[in-house]
Copies of this chain bind each other. A is one copy, B any other.
Amino acid sequence: MIESPAAFIGVNDEGIISFGSGQPDLEPPKEIFENLNIPKLLKYGLIKGEPKLREALAKEYPAANFEEFVVTNGASEALDLTLRAIYKLHGPSQILICRPYYYSYPPLVELAGHTPIYTDLINGQIDLDDFTSKLGQAKAVIINSPSNPTGRVEKIETLRQIEKITAEQGTYVISDEVYKDLIYGRENYLIQGDHVITVNSFSKTYSMCGLRVGYLYTADKELLDTVVDIKTHTSMNTNVVAQQMALQATSVPKVIINQQTKIWEERRDFIYNGLKALGFDLWQPEGAFYVLPKIKNSNQVVSELYEQHNVIVYDGAWFGAPNRIRLSYALDVSKIEEGLKRIEEYLKDKKDWLS
């Protein structure tokens, strides 16, 4: 039994087709490397992050001030610091998570001393009735649209409703928008309000995952100050060289990002149609680069596809979605094609697993 994605981290052998990691394979934009003066970027920086980077970020958010941002070691640290700050301010709390979820959410909630509670998505979309019925118990909710692992995007009307009812109830919204630039049908909807903590990252948009630059943005000064106070002790400033590269990323022309989205859309169509043709039941992705098709015996599928066919997929159970598998399509169409062939071969005597 393979128990978590950790089993596949760093597995990179020749011949393997990996639908595992959420690592974009696209070339990072050249702007991020230009004229880096590394010897000038080696001293301690401000805990919040370099002011120029925060000023550039503030321009991307309506009415934001650069002092409302904290640059972090990826979105992961932004989530961790936010949850720890909520613990410091309010003690152990219940945190509402939409299921299926990004697999780090439950452990992050627990590591910070809280308890996760869940609302189950219906067809990958928030069920506002169930969401609302659980909101009263929760100190915070985590929203992730576009979603990893579902690939779905919440309706703007749903996000507006969530904005409103959480504001009324005084519930924090932790809005993980790391896929906001990877959205096909429409522009991203930014969840707003004084009770919102927006979490974002440079990893996916600019193919710079290994640099670990993310950030959080909130107008809640008490929470922000608590985050900074915690980070002062737990990691200090985020790597200054990486912050400079992130600053340079903010001036990459929007047209380049849009071109990338076209590539993602082609791949999305290719894998969606390919899986449909194989008989899979799945949602058409609206954002991010994941599909989450149904299949019985999903953990056995993960093991056997890896061991017998050199294909990595992740068990939906790791994301709170048993009897599904997650495939990342952050790879070339020719590799997707080869991977689908191998899956077809594996499934030839297991057609009933798809129903």
Please determine whether A111 and B230 come into contact, CB atoms closer than 8 angstroms. Answer: yes
**Complex CA–CA separation, A238 to B212 (angstroms):** 7
- Chain B residues with CB below 8 A from A36, complex form: 38
Select the residue from A38, A84, A111, A233 with max chain B CB neighbours within 10 A.
A233
Is there a chain B Cβ closer than 8 Å to A209's Cβ? yes
Q: Tell me the chain A residues, 18-42 only, with Cβ under 8 Å from chain B.
A: 21, 23, 27-28, 33, 36, 38-39, 41-42
**A303 → chain B, closest Cβ, in Å?**
20
Please determine whether A210 and B239 come into contact, CB atoms closer than 8 angstroms. Answer: yes
A9 interface neighbour in B46, B88, B241, Cβ under 8 Å: B46
Please determine whether A39 and B43 come into contact, CB atoms closer than 8 angstroms. Answer: no
- Chain B residues with CB below 8 A from A207, complex form: 42
Q: Tell me the chain A residues, 221-245 only, with Cβ under 8 Å from chain B.
A: 229-230, 232-242, 245
Is there a chain B Cβ closer than 8 Å to A45's Cβ? yes
Q: Given A21-B44, A42-B210, A42-B211 in contact, is the A235-B232 Cβ separation under 8 Å?
A: no
Please determine whether B74 and A235 come into contact, CB atoms closer than 8 angstroms. Answer: yes
Q: Mark A240-261, 1 if CB is under 8 A from B, else 0.
A: 1110010000000000000000
- Chain B residues with CB below 8 A from A21, complex form: 44
Please determine whether B39 and A73 come into contact, CB atoms closer than 8 angstroms. Answer: no
Please determine whether B234 and A111 come into contact, CB atoms closer than 8 angstroms. Answer: yes
Q: Given A9-B47, A111-B230, A230-B111 in contact, is the A235-B77 Cβ separation under 8 Å?
A: yes
Q: Mark A3-27, 1 if CB is under 8 A from B, else 0.
A: 0001001100000000001010001
Is there a chain B Cβ closer than 8 Å to A104's Cβ? yes
List A residues at the B interface (Cβ < 8 Å): 6, 9-10, 21, 23, 27-28, 33, 36, 38-39, 41-47, 73-74, 76-77, 80, 84, 88, 104, 107-108, 111, 113, 207-212, 229-230, 232-242, 245
Which 6 pairs, one residue from A and one from B, show the smallest C-beta to C-beta distance? A210-B240, A104-B233, A80-B234, A73-B235, A239-B239, A10-B46
What are 29 of the A-B contact pairs (CB < 8 Å)?
A: A10-B45, A21-B44, A23-B44, A28-B39, A28-B42, A33-B38, A42-B209, A42-B211, A45-B210, A74-B235, A76-B234, A76-B235, A76-B236, A80-B234, A80-B235, A104-B233, A107-B233, A111-B233, A210-B237, A210-B239, A210-B241, A211-B239, A212-B236, A212-B239, A235-B235, A239-B239, A239-B242, A241-B241, A241-B242
